[in-house]
Chains A and B, each alone.
Chain A
């Protein structure tokens, strides 16, 4: 019956209880939604980084990623790809020949990174082909086609079908030039990527530079499940001990740091909100106890143990807080799901956030584990908040309380 009494007591003063219920609900909704927003941004950035830039796992010769020395290439790349393709959990494998170069037009020049690819293979590990704003992704069989980023096109003042000249070094150390026609222009949400990365056919690049036909600078692996990255990285490393095998966390350490920091920031943010709410809960419960001094005196008089009075007040505090939390979480699930589906368009500040590598459309996202952790936090906060009013209640002396003192 104690639970029944506590629950009904919560609703004795509906206005007072609803004020704190709504405060808890709105406070949590604010915390949860902003967290979902940040998590969504980070997850999108990680997804985009994996599916546009790095893949889940990359293989390279040790030292290649430091100075992009073209001599540090992977021989027999095709046989390595074949082995990796057979590992369970691997979705696709592609090889890339990556060389640094200079792109020039009559209007200007820019330092770039050329990616020599097999377009069909590459489209399985990277979604660049789906981010074209104009042109196509190597549909024509013509030689010396190039796909570049919008930012680079703007910088060089070129457009679709314009020609740009790439200055490269051959494997023998000679300088060569190649004129490439722009077949497509892509736009990702990472402006640095758009400025630096260009894509050409591997065969064209190898022919120009003398790069060995069976070699590649990188082998990129896309997995079916991002959570398997560590496990499959270890498996590949075991099969190819002479190569450097790195997961996306090592390739983009900032993303991993960001991901971890966002979680910690969120917990701190929500904890601050909950602590602020705790003061409101304490105030409400203390008012409730003071209003019922006479009644609590009666309960103690007729033989209700102080421990039971204490439990009753604690239960009331928990019910009050959990009701607000349930409402807040329900609203949050609704809004996070809605905006997770439709996205939040931040195109009015797209330039700024693209420069930071974030997409201008954010899809808020939050895991069930966060909601569970939050529920536990609310109960803990309620328990702490209930201590003071409950302690006040059991310190009442029956005779004095009955007099209303």
Chain B
């Protein structure tokens, strides 16, 4: 059973004189444990698609079914809870909470979930160990390098034990070495915890690591390495 199923998804922005069709009838499904890169030129709809999958924005039409629930029909309050329980986010500019330490950034989301202190402590230590950041546990983000901050962001996304993680250009601000480290860590977690990772990226190094590549162009899926064919032309 797919973790995410997207059916006939469209998104049109009417804020400009000429409507912009950011997504134009996208159909996709993602299985548990996938490590997928969504690629395409700037403005092709990658971030919009991720926002739809993450319930951060409402589509113009179509469905996003996650764990048998169509999130496009949820109200804002249900969506917030749904995101908290099911989806992890990694952002291009890390987006850690600057006033919290590494530990606090990771435990914050678990506190929002109402987890026990013991469970939180165990998970924080496990993730920081996995990310190689155990020695930075009480450090604030501004004292970390970009690569280290993004690793904390991955740990935060993993902390809530989500069904899948959406990562929007996670390596865009990182150097080669940090990118390599980050991708290896994420690939490790993907293997060990069977967490589904879906990236939007321009980065060839991410594409090289990805098990599946979905190519978007003008809001349509132009290629999906799972099927191996160019399958949308309408």
Which A residues fall within an 8 A CB radius of B?
A: 1, 4-5, 8-9, 12, 294-295, 298-306, 308, 397-399, 402
Contact = CB atoms under 8 A, between A and B. Distances in A.
Nearest to A400: B57
Nearest to A298: B95
B54 to A, nearest CB: 7
A12 to B, nearest CB: 6
A303 B97 contact: no
Contacts of B1: none
A295 B104 CA distance: 16
Contacts of B88: 302
Contacts of A299: 97
B76 interface: yes
Contacts of B107: 1
B36 interface: no
Contact of B95 (A1, A5, A9, A295): A295
Given A295-B97, A305-B77, A402 B91 contact: yes
A1 B111 contact: yes
B20 to A, nearest CB: 14
13 contacts: A1-B100, A4-B100, A5-B99, A294-B93, A298-B89, A302-B89, A303-B83, A304-B80, A305-B112, A308-B112, A397-B57, A398-B56, A402-B95
B27 interface: no
B99 A303 contact: no
B224 to A, nearest CB: 24
Interface residues of B, number: 30
Interface string B101-114: 00010011101110
Given A306-B77, A399-B56, 6 more contacts: A1-B108, A298-B95, A303-B80, A303-B160, A304-B80, A402-B91
Nearest to B166: A301
B83 to A, nearest CB: 5
B70 interface: no
Q: Is the interface of A mostly helix, strand, loop or mixed?
A: helix
B27 to A, nearest CB: 22
A402 B92 CA distance: 10
B84 interface: yes
Contacts of B84: 302-304
Nearest to A304: B112
A306 B57 contact: no
B99 A301 contact: no
B81 A303 contact: yes
A12 B83 CA distance: 28
A306 B54 contact: no
B178 interface: no
A12 B99 contact: yes
Nearest to A303: B84
Nearest to A8: B99
B54 A301 contact: yes
B91 A298 contact: yes
A306 B80 CA distance: 8
B98 interface: yes
Contacts of A397: 57
B51 interface: yes
Contacts of A9: 99
Interface in B57-79: 57, 76-77
Contacts of B85: 303
Given A8-B99, A301-B56, A302-B109, A1 B104 contact: yes
Interface string B158-189: 00100000000000000000000000000000
Contacts of A298: 89, 91, 95
The 8 closest A-B pairs by CB, nearest first: A303-B84, A8-B99, A399-B57, A298-B95, A399-B56, A398-B56, A303-B83, A399-B51
A321 to B, nearest CB: 19
B143 to A, nearest CB: 15
